[in-house]
Structure 1
Amino acid sequence: MKENIISTDHLIIIVTATIVGTMARALTIKEDFRQYPTYPNGYLIHLVTGFVAASLGAVAIPALMTKNFVAVTFLALAIQQFRDVRKAEKESLKDLENTESAYRGDAYIDGIAKTFEARNYFALIVSFTTALTIQLVDSKFISINVMSGTITGLIVLYVIKRFSKGKVLGDIADVKEGKIEVRESELFVDGIFVSNLLGTENAANMFQKEGLAVVIIPREEHFRIALDHYGQRQAALFEATRAVGVKRYHFTRKEYEKGKIVITLVPIIKDVNKLIEAVKKTPVLESVKKSHSVMDTNLFGRE
């Protein structure tokens, strides 16, 4: 029976790696606060799944050292588990679409769900490298082993966060306040036609007195490809309405000549700086990303 009892050294590896991996997941949860549908339950769900992912990564090294290869196969189950996390997150956000002031859109929801799936891989990788470091250092001083594993795990977290970090709209475009103008029932922002739905005097007056508008201007010509994507514009509109609220009306419109994007609304909180910041921090969706440097138009013409 004693052969089945886990050793103290392996217990230290598992506990340390699990804690560091779970901590990695907790740190990355904070980064995505804008995308959370519900704070308390959302945090709990992702902390628990992060703990499970960290535990799977933590037991891999002790399982290999004790030649318990059956236990290692549980890593394969993690893949399915994380896919289920993505599926559950996607379904949850889609269920909330009809309750939001503006739709997130399918492209944004897909990106959020993939992000949450990837963050569980963070926990697994960090805990695995923490456990591996402790095993390789193998000092007679437990504190040195634990410290070495923890530092390595945090370095790995920093590296993979930098590697996986995507761009935001502020990286590819300038966002400035737009001037609202109402001509009879038509709404213009910086001379760009937005809508002809302001048919009543009350609607026109509301937009003139309380409306806010921002104009997104691409910094380079090829950035228009991303900004012209409907899902990207929908994501920016969603973040705008989330930041300042919507009292009445919200519109987005594309200007075809220079590729400018207009977002305008009558907000609950009239704070144009907050609106600009929210639009700037909208993630550039993975489904619209293109690497301009590898898009060589002469590629197929070479001999």
Structure 2
Amino acid sequence: MTDLSASPARLEWPAGATSHVTDLDGPVRHLDLGGPAGAPVVAVHGLGGSALNWGLLGPRLARTHRVLALDLFGHGRSGLPAAPGLAADRRMLHRFLTEVVGEPVVLVGHSMGGVLALQHTAEHPGTVDRLVLLSPPVPGTAGRLDLAMLAKRAVLRVPGVAGAVRRKLAGLTPEQVVDQQLRQATPHADRIPPEVVAASVAETRERSGDPDADRAQAVQWAGITDTMALLGRAAAWRATLARVAVPTLWLQGADDPLADPDDAAALAATRPDWPFELRAGAGHLLALEDPAWTEDRITGWLAAGAQ
């Protein structure tokens, strides 16, 4: 394993965080948000996000746990994998947990990061002490297949669609890109603090100037279609949840436009041993919209399990 940074870089925001880059079959950036010794928290963001998405919740969790936040391939300041798709991120996550962290973690996954966290925990339970899910996408049917999800994936895979989306994004300013992402994720985007928006805009501007910017967007596109393929096989996805053998907490925004709360509750009910809580008045971005509530639920659940 090769550390690609001569020395950790300190970020202006979140305050006190340090940035590290490690070669895990491609350059992977993670933020160390500090915290005491003990079972570390590893946080995995969703599609189109980055480790900065944990900039409000992470420092709160760092009062009781050491907190590390990853950039997935093609996101934030991570580089590109040899081949795009969720499989590369799954391999990278396993290497990060076993080679960089080296002990069982509290794995926290948001949105697509929740899908990765579920898959990883089902396959490698020895690396995860506890699992926390924040608004993971879910299939919308109790049948064998989610035909609507698979149909949407088929449309996205039509030749020319990905290129058209890339051209549309290229015509937006970084400010417009971030604003669009936030408004697609929550009806309460105006509640996101200005420092979060500013940091995301700065990172988006920096990423858009990279020589690999188009390839990074292709990596993100592959993440979308791979996630849809997983969820479209609804019965197989329920079987993945059934195989998860570690204590799990599921938190969900009641106003989430990207992960239907009723479908989430129905899927969570297949695991009655998992606490499931809805946050009224919050959308898809619990860690940014209400970090205090999210911290309280996570730390209270972790503390109760330690007794």
What range describes the TM-score normalised by the shorter chain of this pair?
under 0.3
Query: Could you say which structure has the higher helix fraction?
Result: 1
Question: Highest relative contact order (Cα 8 Å, sep 6+), 1 or 2?
Answer: 2
Q: Structure 2 length as normaliser, TM-score?
A: 0.21
